[in-house]
Structure 1
Amino acid sequence: MLAIQQSDSKSAKCALNLIPCHLNHDGPVNATERYWNPEPDTDGTHTAYFRGRKLKGKNVKIPDGYRGAVLNITDKAAPQPSSQEKNSPNDNEEGEEDDEKPVEVKLAEELGSFDEIMVWSHESMPSDTDDPYLKGVQEWMSFAKAMHCSDEENPNTSSKIT
């Protein structure tokens, strides 16, 4: 499990790009306009060329109530609550405690934030149904919303088992 530790300073705004290629680098890049220069099109999409390949981009906004964060997972462990701070969730009906080990929770530091994602595809616009990244982002948002709403908020769910 992870716990997000927000930095004391305001996190930097980031431009998040999902590019359909594999790069053997996972750090910052000093990209110049020679290598990366996305240009907006009249229809609201973007076009860029990366190593001679034409890419078409679609901007996906993060929905209201959500926040995108760039995280750095550290080796630091989050402090565990003491037994006095717990409300004894492991106590069973006889008053005995289960012998469960506490779950290790690692800290993730927030490096930046974003409110939109640019999803790129080779030569054509990413499709809502065919592009795995675009589809994954949209399905994850729907899943997160379903997980965090109550039965009263979602009329499509029923608490009855048939």
Structure 2
Amino acid sequence: MLKIQNSSRPSQKCTPNLLPARIDYNGAIATPERYWKPETDEKGETTVHFRGRKLTSDVLPLPENYTGAILQVTDRVENRTALDTRLEEEEEEEEEEKVETKIVEQVGAFEKVVVWQHGGRLEGTEDPYAKGIGEWIAFAEAIHGNDE
């Protein structure tokens, strides 16, 4: 189980970029402007050349009242009993068991996602990321939303 907590350091505003590539590296680079220089043309299309391939971008804003979160799993653990996580009527029937809950910190937040792709832009209904965001939010609202 995971428990999300705000980090002790301030949350950074960022914009995730999804690339149509796999890069076996996860960390900062010394001179990002050397490798990543997106340019916007007179039509408003943003492109970049990455490893010799031209990529175009689509910006997917999150719906109103939603914020994306960048999370980092920590080594900290909170031990709780299973009874703490169940409804009251179930508590009487269940035996106590220890549940290990890992602490996850929010280290960043975002309002939009930039999706890069080869060969031009996709319509919103064709883009798997746009479709996924829409479906995930609809699913979450169906589960957690008000009946009104």
Bin for the TM-score computed over the shorter chain: 0.7 to 0.9
Q: Counterparts of 1:19-38 in structure 2 under 5 Å?
A: 19-38=19-38
Going by fraction, where is strand more abundant, 1 or 2? 2
Q: Which runs of 5+ in 1 are unaligned?
A: 153-162
How many pairs were matched up? Answer: 148
* Alpha carbons 2:55, 2:119 under 8 Å: kept: yes
| Residue in structure 2 matched with residue 134 of structure 1 by the alignment | 130
Aligned-pair Cα RMSD in Å: 2.7
| Residue in structure 2 matched with residue 146 of structure 1 by the alignment | 142
Q: Match of 2:115, SS?
A: strand
Residues 31 and 81 of structure 1: CA distance in aligned 2, closer, same or farther (over 3 Å): farther
> Are 1:109 and 2:66 matched, yes or no?
no
| Whole-angstrom CA distance in 2 between matches of 1:87 and 1:148 | 17
Q: Which runs of 5+ in 2 are unaligned?
A: none
TM-score (norm 1): 0.76
| Whole-angstrom CA distance in 1 between matches of 2:99 and 2:82 | 13
| Whole-angstrom CA distance in 2 between matches of 1:142 and 1:127 | 19
* Alpha carbons 1:36, 1:50 under 8 Å: kept: yes
* Alpha carbons 1:40, 1:46 under 8 Å: kept: yes
Residues 44 and 88 of structure 1: CA distance in aligned 2, closer, same or farther (over 3 Å): same
TM-score (norm 2): 0.82
